[in-house]
Amino acid sequence: MDNKTLQALLDAAAPLIELAVAEDIGPGDATSTSTLDPRAPLHGRITAKERGVIAGLPVVEAVFRRVDPAIAFTPHVADGQEVVPGELVAEVVGPGPSLLAAERTALNFLQRMSGIATATRSYASAVSTTDATILDTRKTLPGYRALDKYAVRMGGGMNHRIALFDMLMVKDNHVDGAGSLLLAVERARAQHPDLPIEVEVRDLDELRQALAIEPPLDRILLDNMSLDMMREAVAIAAGRTPLEASGNVTRARLKAIAETGVDFISAGALTHSVKALDLSMKIQPVDKAAKMDPATRVRAVKSALGDRLVILGHHYQREDVIAFADYRGDSLELARRAAQTDAEFIVFCGVHFMAEVAAILAKLGQRVLIPDIDAGCFLAETASEHLVAEAWSILDAALATNGSSADAEITPITYVNSDAELKAFCGRHNGTVCTSGNADKVLKWALSQRPRVFFFPDQHLGRNTAHKLGIVGDEMLLWNVRRPPSAEAIHTAKIILWPGVCNVHQRFRPEHIQKMRERYPGIRVIVHPECKAELVALADDGGSTSHILKQVEAAPAGTQWAIGTESRLVHRLQAEHPDQLILSLADVPPFCPNMSQITLSNLAEIMDALARGELLNEVTVEPETRHWAKIALERMLAL
């Protein structure tokens, strides 16, 4: 967050903190001051009790400091970051009575703001495979507008107008009061020619009137329309003016609304029906807290096991976890490490498919453990063996019309972000695996084997890699599970792409690049190939997480970077290269929620179990699947 944004947030929060402290502490906390020794410092841990997105940590710090400047506040996550139950959000150390006096007020701010960010993230995720953007409204808690809107941004939404003064919004009441839509717009524009203008329309006739206005309006709001009417509105507007859907926007209807093709969806519920995120603060004496410290426990078991243990960590892991990795890398480097190590225990700090690769490549007797067995991958889950096999038989039938077959004509490639069953599928059908670090090499190899490739699950990596090899347009076919393509389309296709996407990389948009370049001329934009093709085309460079890392490491001081990949890698690069300007390409930092599931405390739990001789969260792959998946992986590693 830049200093200006931080200052604006703190300025808006200051009077609210005064009110809240006066209301809750007033002349003093009767219980804490009478029961606790103010000279013995206490240690407080603020932890998440449910999954959600954190927002408001600078406000929380300001509350503690307002109550007692002697309190030291250490955040363990950043605003905009997803947390899992039990995760440490922040620590506070200071005089016991002060900590407890500030606790409720601090948590009230954090819980409300995180609740808004959590709901916004869930809305934003529901539309992440479309081009729609989630907007807030003015239905905020009186006095809390700036905080509520900040939390929406942290959740991945975009702010609508801030208040009545920064945008003209001609609504039904203005139209009815002025006598006509045209008249209302003319009057508003005459008095405020510099303000952007949006007009609300109730039906398609009003929409046509609004679209006919010159110069075009900045946005048109479709009020409470049915899905069919919205689809028609999108067709009528034909891109002339961006459209916003509003009214009856529920989480359940969201995806369907976004799929009508509207550009924006505004939802009052984000800020008027807030469900606070469940967070708590637990206090302990400072010396007891130090003994229970998960970092101390991990360190102890690691040194006791020595060479018997290796910890592998993906670049997207949080800082306190990656600090314990013997090797960190992208998925290709970690697969190589997993195949090389002789350690008896491989603890994989990454997502499940990565640990599964380690388990597939493991030698006899080696055991692979993951701190959270449920740390999946959104992208991997977009394809299953059942659906891919179904598609394969459709491809087979289409090619049979020419006397050929899928096995004779198509090389299946699965991106490593997939289940073991899909890797086994590729093993059985003479295909292989690729990662973002070797996709072009693998695709070239595949096309040297057979004339076509079936690439799953990530359509963007497939498309971006094909573009690199000069394959474009009609030679690429996007699979549609509900409406499989015709035999003719299959015959002309060279690359058949599964429709999967990563909802973290999907968030970067071409306008992010535009804005960055306007603000920092000369900035280098580098993105991960899981981003959309139009973004990759605009960027200066693209590649795997390790490629991004190496480019920044090799650049001279003073280089400016806008990076389009997961936030933890960007934050690490910022910390390691203070002589360069390193920014996240998106305005809201995109954290991978699956990678977030690995925490220092669940790492400490599996390490504690290892010390007791127990295997917690072991990752195994059924032998037949393992056999074929290994063949596919070894084919890749040999390239």
* Residues with active-site annotation: 104, 139, 171, 200, 223
- Indicate the helix (H) or strand (E) that contains 608: helix 600-611
**Residue 98 binds which of ligand 13P, ligand SF4, none (CB < 5-8 A, kind-dependent):** none
Distances (CA, A) of 565 to 88, 124, 502, 595: 24, 17, 11, 13
Q: Does 417 bind ligand 13P (CB under 6 A)?
A: yes
Binding mask 511-550 for ligand SF4 (x = CB under 6 A): -------------------x--------------------
The values of phi and psi at residue 626, to 5°, are: -60, -45
Residues 99-138 that bind ligand 13P (CB under 6 A): none
Q: Does 313 bind ligand 13P (CB under 6 A)?
A: no
Q: Which stretch binds ligand 13P (CB under 6 A): 325-333, 338-346, 384-392, 514-522?
A: 325-333
Tell me how crowded residue 18 is: count the other CB atoms within 10 A of its CB: 11
Nearer to ligand 13P, 414 or 436 (CB): 436
Q: Which stretch binds ligand 13P (CB under 6 A): 169-177, 289-297, 320-328, 432-440?
A: 432-440
User: Can you tell me which of 12, 311, 420, 502 binds ligand SF4, judged by CB under 6 A?
Assistant: 502
User: Can you tell me which of 52, 94, 294, 437 binds ligand 13P, judged by CB under 6 A?
Assistant: 437
Q: Does 419 bind ligand SF4 (CB under 6 A)?
A: no
**CA-CA distance, 411 to 318, in Å (whole number)?**
36
Min dist CB 452 to ligand 13P, Å, is 25
Q: Does 566 bind ligand SF4 (CB under 6 A)?
A: yes
Binding mask 488-507 for ligand 13P (x = CB under 6 A): --------------x-----
Q: Does 594 bind ligand 13P (CB under 6 A)?
A: no
Q: Does 217 bind ligand SF4 (CB under 6 A)?
A: no
- CA distance from start to end of the chain: 42
Min dist CB 31 to ligand 13P, Å, is 49
Long-range own/partner contacts, residues 485-488 (CB < 8 A, 24 or more apart): 486/398, 487/397, 487/398, 487/401
Burial class of residue 60, CB neighbours in 10 A (0-12, 13-18, 19+): buried
Nearer to ligand 13P, 391 or 527 (CB): 527
Q: Does 379 bind ligand SF4 (CB under 6 A)?
A: yes
Closest CA to 110 of 28, 163, 44, 160: 44
**CA-CA distance, 258 to 264, in Å (whole number)?**
8
Q: Does 197 bind ligand 13P (CB under 6 A)?
A: no
Q: Does 598 bind ligand SF4 (CB under 6 A)?
A: no
**CA-CA distance, 143 to 603, in Å (whole number)?**
42
User: Can you tell me which of 73, 144, 348, 378 binds ligand SF4, judged by CB under 6 A?
Assistant: 378
Q: Which residues pair with 313 in a beta bridge?
A: 328, 349
Nearer to ligand 13P, 157 or 313 (CB): 313
Pairing relationship of beta strands 452-456 and 495-497 according to DSSP bridges? parallel
- Indicate the helix (H) or strand (E) that contains 536: helix 533-538
Residue of closest CB approach to ligand 13P: 330
Nearer to ligand 13P, 246 or 506 (CB): 506
Nearer to ligand 13P, 44 or 593 (CB): 593
Min dist CB 435 to ligand 13P, Å, is 5
Q: Tokens 């299946």 — which residue?
A: 412
Binding mask 323-352 for ligand SF4 (x = CB under 6 A): ----------------------------x-
Q: Does 544 bind ligand 13P (CB under 6 A)?
A: yes
Min dist CB 318 to ligand SF4, Å, is 13
Nearer to ligand SF4, 417 or 435 (CB): 417
Binding mask 7-26 for ligand SF4 (x = CB under 6 A): --------------------
Long-range own/partner contacts, residues 510-516 (CB < 8 A, 24 or more apart): 510/534, 510/535, 510/538, 512/562, 512/564, 512/585, 512/586, 512/587, 513/538, 513/539, 513/562, 513/585, 515/587, 516/562, 516/583, 516/585
Nearer to ligand SF4, 66 or 528 (CB): 528
Residue at 275: amino acid letter: K
In the β-sheet with 309-314, what is the strand arrangement from edge to edge? Answer: 327-329, 309-314, 345-349, 367-369
Record the tokens describing residue 175, joined without a space.
Answer: 């139209």
Crossing angle of helices 3-24 and 96-126, rounded to 10°: 130
Q: Does 545 bind ligand 13P (CB under 6 A)?
A: yes
User: Can you tell me which of 140, 594, 596, 599 binds ligand SF4, judged by CB under 6 A?
Assistant: 594
User: Which ranges of 138-268 does DSSP label H, i.e. alpha helix?
Assistant: 145-155, 172-178, 181-191, 204-212, 227-237, 254-258
User: Can you tell me which of 128, 317, 331, 567 binds ligand 13P, judged by CB under 6 A?
Assistant: 331
**Residue 617 binds which of ligand 13P, ligand SF4, none (CB < 5-8 A, kind-dependent):** none
Q: Tokens 């306008």 — which residue?
A: 511
**Residue 594 binds which of ligand 13P, ligand SF4, none (CB < 5-8 A, kind-dependent):** ligand SF4
User: Which ranges of 323-455 does DSSP label H, i.e. alpha helix?
Assistant: 331-340, 352-361, 385-400, 406-409, 420-428, 439-449
**CA-CA distance, 223 to 574, in Å (whole number)?**
44
Q: Does 82 bind ligand 13P (CB under 6 A)?
A: no
**Residue 206 binds which of ligand SF4, ligand 13P, none (CB < 5-8 A, kind-dependent):** none
**Residue 331 binds which of ligand 13P, ligand SF4, none (CB < 5-8 A, kind-dependent):** ligand 13P
Tell me how crowded residue 514 is: count the other CB atoms within 10 A of its CB: 11
Q: If DSSP codes are grouped into helix, strand and coil, which group holds residue 266?
A: strand
**Residue 590 binds which of ligand 13P, ligand SF4, none (CB < 5-8 A, kind-dependent):** none
Q: Does 206 bind ligand 13P (CB under 6 A)?
A: no
Omega before 457 within 30 of 0, i.e. cis: yes
Q: Does 455 bind ligand SF4 (CB under 6 A)?
A: no
Kindly state the number of chain residues that form the binding site for ligand 13P, as judged by CB under 6 A.
Answer: 12
**CA 208, chain centre distance (Å):** 38
Residue at 467: amino acid letter: H
**CA-CA distance, 603 to 299, in Å (whole number)?**
11
Min dist CB 277 to ligand SF4, Å, is 21
Residues forming contacts to ligand 13P in the complex (CB under 6 A) are 315, 330-332, 417, 435-437, 502, 530, 544-545
Binding residues (CB under 6 A) for ligand SF4: these are 351, 377-379, 417, 502, 504, 530, 566, 592, 594-595
